[in-house]
Structure formats: structure tokens, C-alpha cells
């Protein structure tokens, strides 16, 4: 049985401002750095064998906090890169709604039918992220692995773990620095037993602000 601890990166200023990030290499905000420190404390008693991260700095900064505590090196995995929003990248959700009203309406109602202009579809993300996950599982049988990635990637991976198609994308919440845990074994396949846990963030001021954007 292999255990996977799937984490969303800490908060950035763009999360708070509801700006689409995608491949933009924005850094963690001071709040996001503190979130990464708190998730590290939460995982301190868990024996972690490997840590994987998206190549983007906000994920790497989060992963590095955990890796430093456990004396591990972060392995960069491009398959866990954030969703490519194409022309939406760097725009606020209000700007996208105004410029692409029909497409944005579909994104909110039927996200699995949308390919962002110049970007990806959820199926593109599913293909590459599941391939990356299966590679990680093959390389670390019967171990505990941390993966630090992004909102869209995590939601798509969790749909896969639960046997759901991408039409269920909006039925899964992923707050900044949330923790998800699932296991994989030959006999039972995937079993999810922790979803979007943010209890560790309630040590922060502002009542543990949660951001699913």
C-alpha cells in the first residue's frame, strides 16, 4: 500500500485577488509562507519517503518547507504543473467573465467541455497528471509520498481517485495549502480518506482564511 499526501500550494497575492495564475510563476505571499510552515508542522510526525512538486515556485516554496524538515530533496515533476489558462492567465475572474462571457459561463457550469483560448482542457490536465501520479506510485511502492501541486490539478486527480469524470470538477473544493490523503494498493485500488483538510490553518489570524481560487 502506498500513501499519497496531496497538497495544494500556499496562498499567493493572485489567489486573494482572484486572478488566474496558470503558468505565471508567482511567489507565495507572506500568508502563504506561513501556511506552508503550518502544514509542515502538521506533517512532522509522519514518515515521508519522497516529495514531488510542480515546477512552479509557489508549489516549490511549499514543498521545500516540508522537505527541509524531513531532510529530503524535492523532486520536480512537470506533470503536476498548473493548468494552462492561455489567454486567461493574469486576468481576474471579472475580466474573463467580461471578455469571454459564453466560454466563462460554460467553465462555471460544464468545465469538462472547455478548452481555454491558447491553453488546456481538463482532460489534458488529467492525462498528464495521472501519468505523473502512476509514475510516482511505481517508483515508491509501500511508501509515503508528498505531492505539492495546484487547485485544478488536485481537483482533477481527486476526481480520478474517486472514479469520477471531469464533469464533477466543481464538486471538489481545494483551498490553499489544503491536505488530501489517499492510498493505493493492488487489491483495493485507490481509497481516499482525507479531503481538503485545512485545520492546520486555523492557527493563523483572520480565522484561518480559506481560498478556493
List active site positions: 9, 150
- Nearest by Cα to 62 from 169, 206, 201: 201
Task: Sheet with 2-8: list strands edge to edge.
Answer: 74-76, 50-53, 144-149, 2-8, 179-185, 189-197
Given a contact cutoff of 8 angstroms between Cβ atoms, the answer to whether 172 and 155 are in contact is: yes
Measured in Å, how far apart are the chain's first and last C-alpha atoms? 32
Question: How many Å apart are CA 52 and CA 28, to the nearest integer?
Answer: 18
The distance of Cα 181 from the centroid of its chain, to the nearest Å, equals 12
**What CA–CA distances, in Å, run from 60 to 164, 187, 189?**
28, 33, 29
Amino acid at each position: 500500500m502506498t500513501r499519497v499526501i496531496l497538497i495544494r500550494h500556499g496562498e499567493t497575492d493572485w489567489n486573494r485577488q482572484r486572478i488566474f495564475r496558470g503558468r505565471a510563476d508567482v511567489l507565495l505571499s507572506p500568508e502563504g509562507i506561513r501556511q506552508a510552515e503550518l502544514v509542515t508542522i502538521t506533517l512532522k510526525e509522519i514518515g515521508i519517503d519522497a516529495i514531488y512538486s510542480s515546477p512552479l515556485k509557489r508549489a516549490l516554496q511549499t514543498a521545500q518547507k516540508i522537505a527541509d524538515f524531513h531532510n529530503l530533496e524535492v523532486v520536480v515533476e512537470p506533470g503536476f504543473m498548473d493548468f494552462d489558462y492561455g489567454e486567461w492567465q493574469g486576468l481576474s475572474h471579472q475580466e474573463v467573465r467580461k471578455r469571454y462571457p459564453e466560454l466563462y459561463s460554460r467553465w462555471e457550469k460544464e468545465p469538462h467541455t472547455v478548452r481555454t483560448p491558447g491553453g488546456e482542457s481538463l482532460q489534458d490536465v488529467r492525462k498528464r497528471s495521472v501519468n505523473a501520479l502512476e509514475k510516482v506510485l511505481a517508483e515508491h511502492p509501500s511508501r509515503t509520498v508528498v505531492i505539492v501541486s495546484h487547485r485544478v490539478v488536485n481537483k482533477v486527480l481527486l476526481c480520478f481517485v474517486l472514479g469520477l469524470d471531469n464533469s464533477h470538477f466543481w464538486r471538489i473544493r481545494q483551498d490553499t495549502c489544503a491536505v488530501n490523503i489517499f492510498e493505493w494498493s493492488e487489491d483495493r485500488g485507490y481509497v481516499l480518506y482525507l479531503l481538503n483538510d485545512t485545520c492546520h490553518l486555523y492557527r493563523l489570524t483572520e480565522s484561518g482564511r480559506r481560498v478556493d481560487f
